[in-house]
Structures are given as structure tokens and as C-alpha cells.
Amino acid sequence: VTQAHLDRIAEVDDFVHAFLHVDAEGALAAARAVDEAGEPASALAGVPLALKDVLTTRGIPTTCGSRTLEGWIPPYDATVTRKLREAGVPILGKTNMDEFAMGSSTENSAFGPTHNPWDHARIPGGSGGGSAASVAAFEAPLAIGTDTGGSIRQPGSVTGTVGVKPTYGGVSRYGLVAFSSSLDQAGPCARTVLDAALLHEVIAGHDPRDSTSIDAPVPPVVAAAREGLRGDLTGVKVGVVTEFSGDGYQPGVRRSFEAAVELLASLGAEVVEVSCPSFTYALPAYYLIAPSECSSNLARFDAMRYGLRVADDGSHSAEEVMSLTREAGFGAEVKRRVMLGTYALSSGYYDAYYGSAQKVRTLIKRDFDAAFERVDVLVSPTTPTTAFKLGERVDDPMAMYLADLCTIPSNLAGNAAMSVPSGLSDEDGLPVGLQIMAPALADDRLYRVGAAFE
Ligand code: GLN
């Protein structure tokens, strides 16, 4: 199976460009070890996987899609990587992504964009476009992404794959190169909800190496997916978020969403409308909080500790080397966020910007809490449009940011959310995703509803 996927990568990845690095030797060695072990280490033993290049892999390059980390070989495995290895999952390679996970199209990768397998001229979503595209192009049956504002779910939506952002703290962030630490969360990409659940179970669980890891049992996601496959949602209350409809949504996406809601009702779910007024402020709050944390996290790339170092000829001061290296190593979007974040955190502006954004975050959490007193899950479109054309939004950061309009509230509140394919748009024939949101630590509800729906 691993060899077949390596062959597929060799055949199509020149066109898709989902991978930044393929580790054929390592993947085959892991596959052989599974064969020789006899007793499988997990349900996924021998099932190969593509890993987003933001998770550290001992002995294998980890670039985060940035020139800054080109040539850096981590001396340690992320907890997610370690758990995959222990489960006997061969790692095929590292997938392309927007630089440091900042973007919605993979066009911010320093190594060139990934192409959507459905239409080569279109974006595969981002930041984890490489992971989603590898699954959609049958280069890998499973992949890992990370979701800070939508980077697993939006790529899932536009490539017709399943993407899950687990509850914040449900999957360890140890070895996940930090973008916005209070939002970052790793999760599964797959072609079916049950596949995603099996992967979720492998990577989740408490980790003392991550101070924000939750010390609680992993929600019963596999059992919930199996239950969902029976196709009966009797007794499940589904809330349609009223704020996520209307202007700004492609008519084809809107119609697909309406059909999805009808399908949920036909499976027995009780559907009600739920208003979450603060969700309207989620996007602006995110674009203060995420850049603020990014400006602090990316300060570690100082030309001394990792990867790239320029102007190191003895004629420059340490400060000059640092500044010239950051100028050469970071792309435009990363620089924009470092500047925005530094400004938002600066004395005199802190309360007005960062402080206000944190208050919005609390209001969003309260909207979710109130909603989940009435319903079991909330639903919305995953993203307002189908895959847009490569190049269409590169010069318009605001338009790019809108891709995460519906996904960001779950990151700000820390709850669980999934994108599940809801068919093809009747407008352009491209995949559309249904977003399902559940309370923190109730990830199993996503899997039950998602498996019944798919
Ligand atoms: N597109 C969003 C951003 O650019 C989300 C990224 C992510 O989830 N990593 O910040």
C-alpha cells in the first residue's frame, strides 16, 4: 500500500505539488516493520499518511513553507509524529503549506503553490492545501493538517475531503511550530468521516509536554462515526447559524448548504435557527489576536538558532545579521502579520486592539455556550466560495482573509469543528463543504452527524 502511494506521488505530484519532501525510504521501512511485527500496533498500522510540514520530524526536513527554515532538520519528533510512528503509520512525506500556516491558498508557500486536483488552475485552500490535495489526489489516504483559523476545514471544503479541527487541547501542540499558540490545533484530513475518526484516535490524548493539553479521555470518535453510519439522526438537534448566510456567499454554496440542511432533517435531526451575533466580529478579532501571537512566536527566528543566516561575513553586527536574515527569509504575508501584531501589542494601542479582540473572544464563547444549551451541533457552510483561481486573491489580503469567515469562531472559542463534503456546486461543479461545530470535548458529535450525512 505504501509503495502504491509512493508510485502515485511520483506519477502526479509534479502537477499537484502537494509535497515539499517525500521520504520514500523512511515510509517503506515503517511499512516493512508493520509487516514483520505480526500483531498490528493500531487500526491504522501500515496505512500511509502525509504530514503537514509544520510538525517536526526527527531527521526529516521541516520548513513550514518558509525559506527561514530551509535546510533545518529537527532533532526531535512532534508528539503527533511520535504517536503516528508508534501506531505503525508510515509517513510518506511533508506537505506544502502557506508560510508558517498564514494563508488560505498555499500561495504564501516559499516553494510555490499546490494545485487543486479538481481543477489545476485553482487553489487547494490553505494553509494546509498540500495535506488536503494529497488526499484528494489519492497520493495519500490520510493526512495531518493544523487549524488556527480554518486551515484544515477550508482546504477540506474546496478539495472535497473531510477535515477536522479537534477541541483545542485535544491534540498535543508539542513540536507543532507555533503560529498563534492559543488557536493552533492539529487534526485529521481523510476521504471519509470514519477514516478521520480512526486517525483522530491515534493522534489525540493528554501530553504533559504541552501545557494547554487537556487531561481528559479522548472523546469516543470512532464509536460515534460507526453510530452515524447507520444514518439515523433522530433526537439530534441541529442549529443553523443565521449570521452565516446571505450576502457574500456564492449562490451555488448557498444552495448546497440548504440541501445539506434538508438532508440532515430527512435523517431525523430536528433543525432550528440559532443566532450568534458576536460571530460577525470573529474575523477582525482573529486578525488582531493571531498576528499578535505570531509576532511574539516568530521572534525565535533570529538567524542564530535555526535555518537561514545571511550577511554572516564578519562585517555585520548581530542585529544586522538578524534583521537581514528576517528580511530575506520571511515572505510578504509573514512580514505583514509580524508588523500588525507588533503594532497591536505596542504600548498605548494594546487595550484598544488586543484588549478589545480578547473581549470579542469572550463574547463568541458565550454565544457558543448559549447555542449549545439549545442544540447539539451548529452548522454553516465551511467557506463562502468554492476553490477560487490561483492568483485571484494574492494581491488582496482582505479577500483572502474572508475564506475563514465561518471557521474562525470555533478557533477563538476552542471548540471542535469539522468540514464534510456536501456535494458539488451546481454553479461550477466544484466541491462544497458543510461545517459542523460541537462543544469542546464533544468531538464525537461531529463524527456522528458527519458520518450520517456523508
Ligand atoms: N487563513 C487563516 C490565516 O491566514 C487561517 C490559517 C490557519 O488556520 N493556519 O491565518
Q: Is 282 within 8 Å of 360 (Cβ atoms)?
A: yes
Q: What mean pLDDT comes out for the span 340-347?
A: 95
Q: Is 16 within 8 Å of 113 (Cβ atoms)?
A: no
Q: Which amino acid belongs to residue 33? A: A
Beta bridge pairs of residue 240: 273, 379
Is 66 a catalytic site residue? no
Q: What mean pLDDT comes out for the span 235-261?
A: 95
Tell me which of 66, 104, 151, 292 is the catalytic residue. Answer: 151
- How far is ligand 1, taken at its centre, from the CA of residue 126, in Å? 7
Q: For residue 142, what pLDDT is reported?
A: 99
Ligand 1 atom at minimum distance from 103 CA: 4
Q: Any alpha helices (H) in 330-427, and if so which ranges?
A: 332-345, 356-374, 397-401, 408-413
* Burial annotation 386-415 (CB, 10 A radius, 16+ → b, else e): bbbebebbbeeeeebbbbbbbbbbbbbbbb
- How far is ligand 1, taken at its centre, from the CA of residue 16, in Å? 21
Torsion of CA 7, 12, 18, 20, to 10 degrees: 60
Range list of β-strands (E), 233-361:
237-241, 270-274
Only one residue has cell 457574500, namely 248
pLDDT over 90 at 198, yes or no: yes
d(CA 434, CA 454): 10
In order of 4, 6, 18, 91, 92, the CA distances from 10 in angstroms are 10, 6, 11, 15, 12
Q: What mean pLDDT comes out for the span 381-403?
A: 96
Q: Write out residues with Cβ below 6 Å of ligand 1.
A: 101-104, 127, 147-151, 179, 290, 404
pLDDT over 90 at 428, yes or no: yes
Pocket test for ligand 1, best of 52, 97, 104 (most atoms within 8 A of CB): 104
DSSP-derived secondary structure letter, 60: B
pLDDT over 90 at 245, yes or no: no
Helix axes 332-345, 282-297, angle to 10 degrees: 100
The predicted-structure confidence for 36-65, as pLDDT tens digits, reads as follows 998 999 999 999 999 999 999 999 999 999
Q: For residue 75, what pLDDT is reported?
A: 97
Phi, psi (rounded to 5 degrees) for 63: -110, -20
The residue whose CA has the least distance to atom 5 of ligand 1 is: 149
pLDDT over 90 at 307, yes or no: no
Banded pLDDT at 353 (limits 50, 70, 90): very high
Is 389 a catalytic site residue? no
Those residues with Cβ within 8 angstroms of residue 429's Cβ, 6 or more apart along the chain or in another chain: none
Mean pLDDT rounded to a whole number for the chain: 97
* Residue 387, all three cell numbers: 476553490
The predicted-structure confidence for 274-287, as pLDDT tens digits, reads as follows 999 999 999 999 99
Best CA proximity match to 167, nearest among 449, 437, 415: 415
Ligand 1 atom at minimum distance from 411 CA: 8
Q: Where are the domains of the chain?
A: 2-227
Q: Which helix (H) or strand (E) holds 165?
A: strand 162-165
pLDDT over 90 at 243, yes or no: yes
The predicted-structure confidence for 149-183, as pLDDT tens digits, reads as follows 999 999 999 999 999 999 999 999 999 999 999 99
Best CA proximity match to 298, nearest among 265, 338, 251: 338
Q: For residue 38, what pLDDT is reported?
A: 85
Q: For the complex shown, is ipTM > 0.95? A: yes
Q: Is 386 within 8 Å of 425 (Cβ atoms)?
A: yes
In order of 12, 124, 285, 358, 369, the CA distances from 363 in angstroms are 46, 32, 11, 9, 10
Q: For residue 407, what pLDDT is reported?
A: 98
Q: What mean pLDDT comes out for the span 222-236?
A: 98
DSSP3 helix / strand / coil % (the chain, rounded to 5): 40, 15, 45
- How far is ligand 1, taken at its centre, from the CA of residue 186, in Å? 13
Q: For residue 125, what pLDDT is reported?
A: 98
CATH superfamily of 2-227: Amidase signature (AS) domain (3.90.1300.10)
Best CA proximity match to 209, nearest among 60, 83, 298: 83
d(CA 62, CA 43): 27
d(CA 215, CA 208): 9
- What is the Cβ-side half-sphere exposure of residue 337, based on CA atoms within 13 angstroms? 29
Q: For residue 291, what pLDDT is reported?
A: 98
Q: For residue 23, what pLDDT is reported?
A: 98
The residue whose CA has the least distance to atom 4 of ligand 1 is: 103
Banded pLDDT at 246 (limits 50, 70, 90): confident
Best CA proximity match to 95, nearest among 59, 44, 47, 60: 60
Q: For residue 10, what pLDDT is reported?
A: 98
Longest dimension (CA), the chain: 72
> Residue 364 burial by CB count (10 A; 0-12/13-18/19+): exposed, middle or buried?
buried
Please state the pTM of the whole predicted model.
0.98
Only one residue has cell 471519509, namely 192
Q: For residue 71, what pLDDT is reported?
A: 86
Give the whole-number percent of the chain exceeding pLDDT 90: 97
- How far is ligand 1, taken at its centre, from the CA of residue 365, in Å? 19
Q: Which amino acid belongs to residue 93? A: G
351: left (phi over 0), alpha (psi -120 to 50) or beta: alpha
pLDDT over 90 at 272, yes or no: yes
- How far is ligand 1, taken at its centre, from the CA of residue 22, in Å? 24
Is 127 a catalytic site residue? yes
* Residue 323, all three cell numbers: 534583521
